[in-house]
Homo-oligomer: A and B are copies of this chain.
Amino acid sequence: MHLLSLHLLVMARLGGPRIEESRLASWRALLNAHARVIQRVERDLQAEGLPPLSWYDVLWPLYRAPGRRLRISELADQVVLSRTGMVRLLDRIEAAGLVRREPVPEDRRGTYAVVTGDGVEMLRKMWPVYARGIDALFLAPVGDDVAVVRDALERVAKRDGSSED
């Protein structure tokens, strides 16, 4: 599954900081919803002999980028993965012929990852599976609340967090 990621869960008070039960339930729901959809999509991809979502997560930003290329560090920042992890992930995707590495002319320390034609082809095969999952497993049950959910979760995602601690 996904690192995913990776856990459902339950949680507690135990005398520490109190969080009202119904508010805690919303966090639990997010964990469960995430786990369920990801797990299911991964299974569907595997069932069709396609690569895991992590490959999609790499190929798609490359496809969108100018010149169909991004530097390895840029890529690692977009996907939630350490620089080291990205190097290894690219090793595998490159071995499959979906990406190739090219030197960066202006900075000889850097390396571009570039999607190949086969990589774009793979995106075309993976997207329908992914889209079906998003639609049936997530968007359908959310229904008319989609706008509220989007706005709320975008506030969470964009939270700086530097004010805390």
Chain A interface residues toward B at CB < 8 A: 1-17, 19, 22-27, 29-40, 44, 53-54, 56-57, 60-61, 63-64, 78-81, 123-124, 127-128, 130-132, 134-143, 145-157, 159, 161, 164-165
Closest 9 CB pairs of A and B: A5-B5, A4-B4, A4-B5, A3-B6, A3-B4, A4-B6, A3-B5, A5-B6, A32-B157
Query: Are A30 and B79 in contact, CB atoms less than 8 angstroms apart?
Result: no
Question: Which of B60, B80, B165 is close to A6, meaning CB atoms less than 8 Å apart?
Answer: B80
Would you mind naming 29 contact pairs between A and B with Cβ atoms under 8 Å apart? A2-B3, A2-B6, A3-B4, A3-B5, A4-B5, A8-B57, A9-B78, A10-B61, A10-B64, A11-B130, A13-B127, A16-B131, A19-B134, A19-B139, A26-B147, A26-B149, A29-B153, A30-B138, A32-B157, A33-B153, A33-B154, A33-B156, A35-B80, A40-B161, A138-B156, A141-B159, A143-B152, A148-B149, A149-B152
Given A4-B2, A6-B3, A79-B7: A17 in contact with B142 (beta carbons within 8 A): no
> A81 CB to closest chain B CB, in angstroms?
7
Given A3-B1, A26-B146, A149-B26, A136:B164 Cβ within 8 A: yes
* Complex contact A142–B152 (CB within 8 A): yes
